[in-house]
Structures are given as C-alpha cells and as structure tokens.
Structure 1
C-alpha cells in the first residue's frame, strides 16, 4: 500500500510540474509568451493589419493588439529584413534544422515566411545594411566584401530582383553610415543616415544632398505620403517627420528611452497616423495618433500582455 501511495504521490508531483511548465509558456491572460532575442527590422503588411519583426529565431507577428509566433515556416535568422507590398525581402542565416546553406544571400517571401525564394548570393554573403522600396522593389545594400556579383565593397543597387547590380558613387555623404531606406514609390530615391546627419539621393545613391536634420541618425524610414521619418540620438532621442515636397520638418513626441536609441521606425501604409518604432534594447512602441502618444507593447524583448 505504501508503494502504491508513493506512486500516486510522484504522479501528483509530475502533474503539478506539467502545470507549472504550461504556465511558464503562457502569461496570465492566456496568451503565449513571446520574446525577441534580436530585432533586425520591422514592417507592415500592405493592408496595414499585421506587423512582422524578425527576432533571430524566426518571425514575430503583431495583429489585433497581440504578438504571436507563426507556426508555419522555418525559424530563420533574418537580417536586413524589409517588408514590401507583397511580402518581404531579407538576408541572414538559416534555421539550425534547415536544409539551407549559410548564409542565405538575398531571399524573398510572398507567403509571410512559410517559404522563401533564393534570389542571389546564396552561400556567399549576409547583408545587414539593406533597404527595399515598398512598391518599387528596388534593392540597396552596403556590400562588405567582394563577391560573385560585386567586384569590391561599396554601396550597390538592383532594379531587377538582385539579378544584376550597379555600384553607386555616394558623392556628398559625410560620416559613418548607420541607417538606410528606399522610397516606397519613387525609383532611384534613397536615404542614408550617418553619425553626421541625414542624406537624400534621387539618382540611386550616386549623389546625395544633406538635409536639415543634424546629429547622429539612429534610424530612418520613408513614410507613405512622401515623408521621411528620421530618429536621432545625441544627448537625447528625437524623432522627426520631414515633408519631402517642402523640406519642412516636424518633431514628434517620443517616450524618453534614457540611454537607449530608436533602431527602426515605420509608418502604417494603410493608416498615416499609425507609427511603430523599436529600440536597441528591444522595446517596441506604437502610436495611433500621428506620434502624439505612444503605447509600449514590448519591454526589453518580452511582449507585454494585451
């Protein structure tokens, strides 16, 4: 009888442990606990309903106020991640259990990451500095080394899905490049943020004009009304919206991140008043009123329960 009671006792303990493990996997609201090991980009789907973020071990998706981890598709380590109107372009490294080789080169997905198409430089290079036009699909990269399609390091662009590349002259650029963005609808228009300001080109990066925003740029992104979002970090963090038609800039209100800085910023393509930004410390904020107020929904890489 004692032996049978011991069996029941250990069975009860194991059942309790299973319950604890289940509670660890889900937060108190019943939602799955979602974490971000890294953040290497972010962007909206064309309908503005979903936000995709690469998090080292696959994608994270924000929809209807909740972060989830997709169950379909390999959990690749996406770098240089860029959403476009029909999906995303990226570079990076394959998931540990993938049959793909490392690095990925440049890949494209039109089914939200369920599958990816290899476009160029597979097994050759991983681009961290990459930008793609949301509707033009022009690709810009900072190439760190010679490869089969690029004779030397430098700034390159492709207008045919990475089949061929042209090197840009980068005339007019000052300082060390930090951030990069391509215009969503205007071909040839690209911007580079450096530790000495923000620079705009209308000829695929051959010649750049310095814009009025000063300071070290930490993030840059084109909006969807011919505007430019520029985040700077000097003594404090600032976020500006520049009307490219008039060159007038407006400073948006942002939470004080202390020693942190904005790393990525995007505008919803279907809602001009919605913005999202991520920081180097993996905080994520969303504004639904054109940047007047912000709601934090990721805190140091951990999604905040809805």
Structure 2
C-alpha cells in the first residue's frame, strides 16, 4: 500500500465517521477493551475511541503510562496486568466477566517478538511469548464472549501480522504465534457469525512504534550468543532486511488505529486488513505463488540462495 493510499484510507474513514456520527451515539456508550494499550497501536486506538465517547478499558503492564491516558480522558479506565503471568490474566478475566456493562468491542493488541533461529531460543522464552501473544488473547476473548453473546452483538479485532501468513528467517517463534492467532481468528469468525459478532484480523507490516525496541530487549543476546554456524545466516539475513527497509516510509501507529476503527464501525468489515510497507508485497507474493516458488522468493529476498555454512 503506497503513501497516497494511506491518506485515502484516512480521508474515507474521517468522512464516514462524520456522516454517521449521530447514528453511532448509542454505540459510543459501549465498553471497549484494548490490551497492550500503553503505547503504539493500542494507545492510539484507545485515544481515538475515547474521543468518540466509548468507555475504554486500557490494559497493559506499564501502569504509569496507563494512568497518563486516564488523566487525559475520564472515559478511559486503566487496568494494569502482566499478560505473561497466567495468574494475573485469570484475575483480570474475572474482572471482565463481572462488568455491569460488558465488553462489546475487544481489541487484542498485546504482543511482542523474539528474534532468533529456533535452535537458539529456549522453550521458556517461547512459552512466555506464547503466553502473551496467544494464550492471553484466548483467555481474554473467552472472558468477553458471554456478554457479547447475550447482547447478540460485538466486534473482536485480533492484531496479527504479515508474518501470520509466512515467516522471515529468525522470526519463527513470533510467526508461529501469529499463525495461531490467524487460526483462532478464522475459527471464531465462523463460530460467532450466528450471534452477530464480527471477528477481524489486522496484518500490519513495519510500523513506527516501540515494538522493535521492546522486542529487542526481550530477545536479549539471542542473536549474539549463538552457535557459530548461525552467525552467517543472522548477518546475511540482517543485511538483506536493512536493504529492504532503506528508503521506506514507515507509517506511525495511527495508520493501524484508523483501520481498527474502520473495522469496528463497519457493518460488514473485511475478514482481514493488511497495511504498512512490505505487507502488501509479501502477502501478495504469498497469495500468488505456490509453496516452493514462495520459498525460492524468500531465499532470494534474504540473500540466502548461495549461502553455505
């Protein structure tokens, strides 16, 4: 998707919201839950929905940032929770199940990445990532569904990724979690359609947020303390990635927040939305090439065709 197309999405979204604002007054009283709401896409989405009058439950680890949001908006309720800890997630889910006004819009945004070849990543590190990126998403969704079913309405927006449909080298752990998010999203879309509940996947490409910084911190020294055999792969794939990113115009989180709002406000949202540089290119190739030819495309893209170690 090119920069002019981003602007077109913003323009159409704003026109739509302006025209239908009066018709959405009833909806604006709904309760929205956004996980990972302290920064990036989650924060931008929380602000945009709060500005439209929704009651927003903003959940994240960093309490000070959540309180900053709540100071700006009376209709934002901050909830500190570490979704990597199953016991904390269970307490949070009990809170959700006891809400007088149940959540009718759920944005499962919390997540992070770990970078490294599978052989270099411990099972404990993998388990923690899956706890946040997948199991917490499932638990929170389970907690919100009874209220949505009772009302026979609701919207669930799951933040996937372009690597929910394919994997970069050294991104297998993160990609596998996002593949699982895609699977549960597809199943939920079928299971919940009879209840009038909409389920949408968002597949961003690179976005200008703190995601990379947080992911690098959580990855630790995986890519430096590695088996010597893997170092040429890390170096080659890393250099190729740098070339891909060179000259790219990386959009901010507001791009994805606007797409999330489009999905929420639409009566007939797309099953999935992709956005951001590289996303359309790679997803287009994945859709149009068979498995073998896509594999060859990826080998070439990351300069791994002739690499021998």
TM-score (normalizing by structure 2): 0.25
Higher percent of residues as helix: 2
TM-score (normalizing by structure 1): 0.25
- Which of 1 and 2 has higher RCO (CA within 8 Å, sep 6+)? 2
Higher percent of residues as strand: 1
